[in-house]
Amino acid sequence: MTLEELVAAVVGPEQRDWYKIVVGGGSDAHGTIAIFKPDPAVSLAWGITVGDNFKEPWANKFPDPRASSHWADVRLNGSVVFRATYVSVDGARADLPMPDSRESPGAVPEAYARFVRLIHELESAHSFEEYFERASLTRMPRSWPDLNRGET
């Protein structure tokens, strides 16, 4: 399996294809792991805090303006093979992808939106789509990730 195939496999499945395990964590450790049921060698781990005080207009416009950035890791046999950043908004009620500042305002590659939506749905009962819209984010067809540029 290539790295591109692995990331595509993670972006495609639904929440029901994952088995979630809360492991604790903290600012320097992932708090949650999810095992891919069709292939337990594939897992996600997320929750390490990158920045406690994330400031961007799209992320701080909710009733609770607190936002923080975090890492999500795609793992194969327990080894990290890909890492992406996401942002928790509205006092950690929702997880959203960071827009690509090189594109139009609020633009997010479709696959990246699906990746963060999966993490959000494994964590929260709130509507990802509602938060995505309220943040004025939009999906774009550009491929993600661009592994040739090291983009996450």
In the chain (152 residues long), the average pLDDT of successive 10-residue segments reads 83 84 79 93 94 95 96 95 95 94 83 94 93 95 76 54
Prediction pTM value:
0.90
Pull the structure tokens for residue 108: 């997010």
Classified as helix, coil or strand, 15 is: helix
Q: How many structural domains does the chain have?
A: 1
List Cα–Cα distances, 85 to 39, 47, 103, in angstroms: 24, 10, 17
- Asked if residue 145 is part of any domain, the answer here is no
Determine the pLDDT at residue 151.
54
Determine the pLDDT at residue 128.
96
Burial annotation 105-139 (CB, 10 A radius, 16+ → b, else e): ebebbebbbbbbbbbbbbbbeeebeebbebbebeb
Determine the pLDDT at residue 5.
83
- Asked if residue 47 is part of any domain, the answer here is yes
The domain in which residue 25 lies consists of 3-140
Determine the pLDDT at residue 9.
83
Determine the pLDDT at residue 16.
85
Length of the chain: 152
- Asked if residue 60 is part of any domain, the answer here is yes
d(CA 121, CA 99): 19
- Asked if residue 58 is part of any domain, the answer here is yes
Determine the pLDDT at residue 147.
74
- Asked if residue 131 is part of any domain, the answer here is yes
- Asked if residue 147 is part of any domain, the answer here is no
- Asked if residue 22 is part of any domain, the answer here is yes
- Asked if residue 148 is part of any domain, the answer here is no
